[in-house]
Structure formats: structure tokens, C-alpha cells
Amino acid sequence: MVCNSCPRHCGAERGECTPGGVCASPALPRIARAAPHFGEEPCISGVKGSGTVFFSGCNLRCVFCQNAEISRGSTGKTVTVSRLRDVFLELQDMGVHNINLVTASHYVQPVAEALSMAKLNIPVAWNSSGYDSVDELRRLEGLVQIYMPDLKYSSCELAKRYSAAPDYPQVVQAAIREMYRQTGNFVLDENDMLQSGVLIRHLILPESEDNSREVIDFVADNFPGNMVLFSLMSQFTPMPGTERFPELQKTVTPELNDRLIDYMCTRGIEYGFWQEPDAATDEMIPAFDLTGV
């Protein structure tokens, strides 16, 4: 296939099992792990875990990615659409709260086919970088109940510096609006588990307070009240290969974290989550060992 499905529009040739393009991925999905996961927000992980499928490759490829082993490497196994359907059903049979699709933006067509075949009876969560095509998201309407996009940057300069995607702010804002159009206001069940809606995540970057404040402003201005959930994350961890970015060789300070939590509350974002700075470890990165594949 000649691929122009993501905002990169790279026009690369991606064979069924032959990788290509910015995402460095084949047309068929390649996955590195499928298992219950407990590292998400409480309304996603709950007590039984989130049935998480980690897809290999990525169309954004941030320099600070904590899952670089799969986002940039060849770790993972290429599977058929029918096998992906079976993976979803096997996770559902384990009693998880939801099916959590991590970084599947470059596999929309096969994922949509597998979901259509599976006919799941638990919510499906689309867990992405936010760098999603609106047209591709429309293929998921009715198949995905929960959207969990990152909103990494309000700054085009930072998006270019760290992700080579200066259009990221415009792309992600359009994507989030489409996600909200599909799901409407978030809905929690009697156990405070998310059943539908949008949960926007923002990872605080060291020395980028203005970027975070502008992200909070976008959410507060466009989704006031109880429209969406917001998660402010301070888990940034310096990763190998980022030595040319001195500002990324540190973690988020408690002072910066506290200022942004206060700003989030000042802007009226009441329905959300935040982390303490001691979350900045690699302990929650799972083993990408083909479990469940």
C-alpha cells in the first residue's frame, strides 16, 4: 500500500509485512504485548486492569519517548486481522475493564476491521499521541468508545524540535474535537470506570512551563465543565539518546508540578488527574516480550 493515512502524508510503500514510512511499520499490525496493564489512570486501570495492546512503530517518534524500544525499533510480531480480533477477545475473557489500543494510529484500517469482527462488550480505548488524521478517526466511529489522546505541545517550535512535527498543535486540536464529536461528554459507571468520552493527557516537559499552561488553556477554553477528563503527568524521565537536548536531561521539579496543578485548578478543570514528581521512573514501562501475541 502507498500510505498517506496519517498527518505525515509521507506516501511510503508499506507491504503487508514489509515496513516503510515515517512509522517504520508494515500495513498489517505489529504488536509487542497484549496483557492486563495497571499503569493508566484509575478510571482506566481499575482493579482488574486495562486490556492493553501495545502496537509497534509510531508516526510521531518523539525524541523523549519512553517506549522507544517499540516506537522506533522492530520489536514486535506482525499479525493478521483475524489474530488481532482473537487478541481482543482473549483479553476480554480475562475480565479486564476495557481494550486499550496503544499507538495504533498507523494501523487504523486493520484495527477497525478487527474491532468490527470482535463485537466486544467492553469499552475500547484509543490511546494515541494525538497526531491523528480526522478522516482516519472517522473510520473508528462506533467502534471506539474512549479516546485517550496526548496533547503534548501547544508550541509549534517544541513540536518541531522534539517530534519533527511543527503542525502538531493544529493537528491534535482538530483530532480532539473529532474525538469529542464522536463520544460526547465523558461517562463514568457506578465504580468510577470510564465508559465513554475523551481523556486528554499532557506530559509536562522540563523547562516548558508556557507550553503546559497553553495546553491547559486550550482544554479549559474548549471543553469547560464536565465535558472531558484531563490528566496532567509529571512522569517525564530522561531517556538515552537525548543528550543533544540538555533541557531533557532532568526531571520535572516539584515546584513546576505544583504551579501547573494550581493553574489547572484556577482554569476550572475539576475533572482530572495529576501525578507527583516521584512518578518519574521507568518502572511502569512493561516488558515488550510478545506476551499475549
Can you give the pLDDT at residue 120?
98
The pTM score is 0.95
Q: Tell me the Ramachandran region of residue 69: left when phi exceeds 0, alpha when psi lies from -120 to 50, beta otherwise.
A: alpha
Alpha-carbon gap, residue 253 to 105, rounded angstroms: 32
- Contacts with 24 (C-beta within 8 Å, 6 or more apart), sequence order: 57, 72, 74
- Contacts with 148 (C-beta within 8 Å, 6 or more apart), sequence order: 40, 44, 100, 125, 126, 127, 128, 198, 199, 200, 201
Confidence class for position 61, pLDDT limits 50, 70, 90 = confident
Mean pLDDT value across the chain:
94
How is residue 115 annotated by DSSP?
Answer: H
Can you give the pLDDT at residue 82?
98
Could you tell me where the beta strands, DSSP code E, fall in the chain? 2-3, 12-13, 30-37, 50-55, 77-78, 99-102, 124-128, 146-149, 187-188, 194-203, 229-233, 272-274
Confidence class for position 286, pLDDT limits 50, 70, 90 = confident
pLDDT tens digits, one per residue of 192-218? 999 999 999 999 999 999 999 999 999
Can you give the pLDDT at residue 271?
82
Can you give the pLDDT at residue 72?
82
- Sign of CA pseudo-dihedral 151, 157, 162, 164: positive
